[in-house]
Amino acid sequence: MALHHLIAQSSLGREDSSASLSILEEELLRVGADGWSSLSASLRAKKSVQEYLQASAVDGDEHLVNDLELSEALHSVAEALRRVAVSKAGAQEAAAEWKRKYEQERIRNICLQQQNYQGAPFLQANEIKNSSSAACDGDLLCHQESPSNLPQYATGQSFGRKDFCDQQFIHSNSILSNLASASAKKPPLEKASFRLEWGCNGEKSRRHKHEIVSFENGNITTANHSSKQITLIWDTAPQTVCILSKPNSASVQQLCMEMIRWLEEKQMGVIVEPRVRQELLDTSPYYSFVQTWESDSEVSVLHQKVDLIVTLGGDGTVLWAASLFKGPVPPVVSFSMGSLGFMTPFDSGCYQDCLQTIMNGPMYITLRHRLQCRIMQADESIEGREELDRHSEEIHLVLNEVTIDRGMSSYLTNLECYCDDVFVTSVQGDGLILSTPSGSTAYSLAAGGSMVHPQVPAILFTPICPHSLSFRPLILPECVTLKVKIPDSSRGPAWVSFDGKDRLQLGPGDGLICRMSSWPVPAACIEEPTHEFLRSVREGLHWNLRKTQSFEGPRDVS
């Protein structure tokens, strides 16, 4: 053994003994790195060295001093190895304890999520798979091999009744016994995944971000058309469709029932509004498999369950659908059953072919930007664009426009307008419209504003009947924050409305903060978005439609 060889060398002179001491320490450290077994070997080596030192103590004082130094060094090394081994064992115990606590917390979270599934009207029995459970102190503990077995939209929030039975056990590949038998054949309502492609002139890119400006070697360049064609490609097939329909229309109700039956044949999950579900159940119990929501908290997470939104109606139905989502919005497929139809390109007469094509993918989409608005009370500060984020419960998201007008007052409105905290102008007239590009063909157009392509990132600043000959509309970049305030000297109040709804009164000192939202509405298109926009302008508004000049009559003489 290497240790006996080192001990034998330690009987030499001081120089050789010191060298042997250094080599012995290194050998002990190498051997001790293997854990408890190495520690035992080191202690046995130390004992052998001590016995040898006692036997050779008569060799002289100088040699004794060297041997004592060697003994003390060996003792120090052995003590260090012991402390290392004890620390290692303690660390392993602590790691095991943390792992046990983590597993307990993970199991408890899975249990809470399954409690939510038990009472939720959204969810079906076969969403909970590969799970096992055990009861502990009256609580239901549900084991699961992998968190990925849960639906991707599981958030731990409650979506329905909370009367979960603590003594109920859920075994592997089992279904909840208290759910309707019709729901057992439904597919799992898992969120489908997709990706986007940016394309222009036949070139496509699948980057997660779309850069507009780049620089290289001191040269600044922009992308070849900053707003490119956007294509949505499904990675997994969509499984859940939310249908939002126009009320009080027999033709819309009939189409809705036909579409639901067709989606059921395709084994798709269907979610409708509570009003529509009740109308369906009054018609026939066949529609018991259709799901709905029961509270605003369920609506706030609806985007986590829905793969496609289908609207049956006109542009107003699309506005209503967008207002339900205060954050991300799933792709919207709009069928035209209204009067104008700027945002409803699909023909309801061939809905089966349209939906099948969209579900197969890929499809063009138009990102319709929304405005994010908040009422500013008289006693609040006008500073800081982060105010919109701190008061999320007061946020209004609009797809068309936010309007501030004089209402029933006979006086002109007097509105102080700021752009990024810099005073711009005072509006004296009937009011002001802050519009998105999608809303440029609505109220803003009637007030003299320009028509803007929906994918142009901009905010339209359009006065309503201004008492000025030089007050023309503006188109501002999407990065600005606009603030409109009612001055204290105003003769009367003003009224604000968001997409024609939620009309509120603003008194002197009150105001509105408005900026572009981070959550656009992805609207499905039949064709390339620019072609579709121009077609809707020509066909919907009859843009530049007039009789052609007759070829008969006087002509230029060359």
- Residue whose C-alpha is closest to residue 170's, from 134, 136, 117, 146: 134
Two tokens, residue 416: 């102080």
Buried b (16+ CB within 10 A) or exposed e, 461-482: bbbbebeeeebebbbeeeebbb
Tokens encoding 295: 């509270």
Closest CA to 462 of 402, 418, 413, 515: 402
Tokens of 177: 């016994």
Note whether 332 and 355 are within 8 A (CB).
Answer: no
Query: Could you give the CA distance from residue 261 to residue 263 in angstroms, rounded to a whole number?
Result: 5
Beta strands in 235-362 (DSSP E): 240-245, 269-272, 308-313, 332-336, 346-347
Told to judge if 315 belongs to the known catalytic residues of this protein, a careful annotator would answer yes
Please state, in angstroms and as integers, the Cα–Cα distance from residue 240 to each residue in 44, 263, 345, 519, following that order: 71, 9, 22, 21
**What is the rounded distance in angstroms from the CA atom of residue 129 to the CA atom of residue 173?**
5
- CA-CA distances (angstroms) from residue 210 to 49, 223, 528? 73, 9, 18
Please name which of 137, 143, 148 lies closest in space to residue 105, comparing C-alpha atoms.
Answer: 143
Question: Exactly one of 67, 315, 499, 510 is catalytic; which is it?
Answer: 315
Apex 549 CA angle, 543 and 553, nearest 5: 170
Find the Cα–Cα–Cα–Cα dihedral 303, 305, 307, 309, rounded to 10°.
-60
Q: Distance (Å, rounded) from C-alpha 394 to C-alpha 402?
A: 15
Structure tokens at 436: 């998105």
Q: Which two tokens stand for residue 324?
A: 């339900």
CB atoms within 10 A of CB 139: 11
Distances (CA, A) of 261 to 181, 289, 522: 17, 11, 26
Structure tokens at 454: 């929906």
Q: Which two tokens stand for residue 384?
A: 């800081």
DSSP state of 491: S
Residue 527: closest CA among 231, 226, 322 = 231
Report residue 539 CA to chain centroid gap: 36
Instruction: Give the closest residue to 366 by CA, choosing from 335, 344, 398.
Output: 344
Distances 115 to 119, 122, 136, 158 between C-alpha atoms, Å: 7, 13, 16, 8
The 10 Å Cβ neighbour count of residue 148 is: 9
Q: Is the peptide bond before 362 cis (omega within 30 degrees of 0)?
A: yes
At 344, the amino acid letter reads T
Provide φ and ψ at 463, rounded to 5°. -75, 150
Structure tokens at 228: 């490119």
Q: Which residues are marked as active site?
A: 315
